[in-house]
Amino acid sequence: MTMLDIPTPDGTADAYLAFPADGAPHPAVLLYMDAFGLRPHLKSMADRLAEAGYTVLVPNVFYRHGRAPVVELPEFINPAERPEIIQQLGPAARTLTPEGAMRDAAVYLDWLAASPLTTDGPVGVTGYCMGAGLALRTAGTHPDRVAAAAGFHGAYLATDAPDSPHLLAERITAELYFGHADHDSTNPAEQIARLDKALATAGVRHRTEVYEGAHHGFTQADTAMYGAEATDRHWAALLELLGRTL
């Protein structure tokens, strides 16, 4: 487990790498952060995937704004009590455009392909909150390199915007899984239906589930949105998808 720097066309991305203790090559997984960013909890999630037999890269996608953590975070994040944290993250989030994110994705995939810690072949991608949209975009932008993509409590996956992630559906060859929160203003039922329709129309192998009683951010144990039952369900679904496709 180590921190590293990855040169990109726009600067240098700091990232966390987790890998099995045997030091042998393992299938690669690209893990996209939520808006709170690269921090101890996300590292622990990567460590858990590494224990399951994967080499996992977690980039700080806000690196254009600064190294992680891009804002000072409390050990326990409750946006209701600390709304200024969300406000502080705004400038960092605005540094990441869809175009920039996909330039970065190519770099991350290249880095993983070149690493002696990864096996040859396509990778898996998983993302949380805003990271679910990045996972969906990466699957649609680099279809020859992504075999599986998952997104959990994703935000703004199928909006009316001309660059909404779901519009890449027809390019996707990966198998997809989405675990949606049913209490999530960033991903209402109509957007879930729009995403499902786009994936079905494009013939994408996919499964989407709405986790009853779950809130946006349910996998993040260091936040007030955490749900233990939904998180366990997420791990089962993610590991099943990766195990079958990688």
Can you read off the two tokens belonging to residue 56?
Answer: 């996992």
The one catalytic residue among 166, 180, 216, 234? 216
Q: Under 8 Å CB-to-CB from 190, ≥6 apart: which residues?
A: none
87 and 121 in contact (C-beta within 8 Å)?
no
Give the total residue count for the chain: 246
The label of the residue with tokens 């995939």 reads 109
Q: Kindly provide the residue ranges of all beta strands, DSSP E only, lying in the chain, ordered along the sequence.
A: 2-8, 11-18, 28-32, 55-59, 123-128, 146-152, 175-183, 206-215
In the chain, helix, strand, coil percent, each to 5? Answer: 35, 25, 40
Is 216 a catalytic site residue?
Answer: yes
Element (H, E) at 92: helix 83-94
The one catalytic residue among 65, 184, 206, 234? 184
The one catalytic residue among 41, 65, 129, 153? 129
- The catalytic residue positions are 129, 184, 216
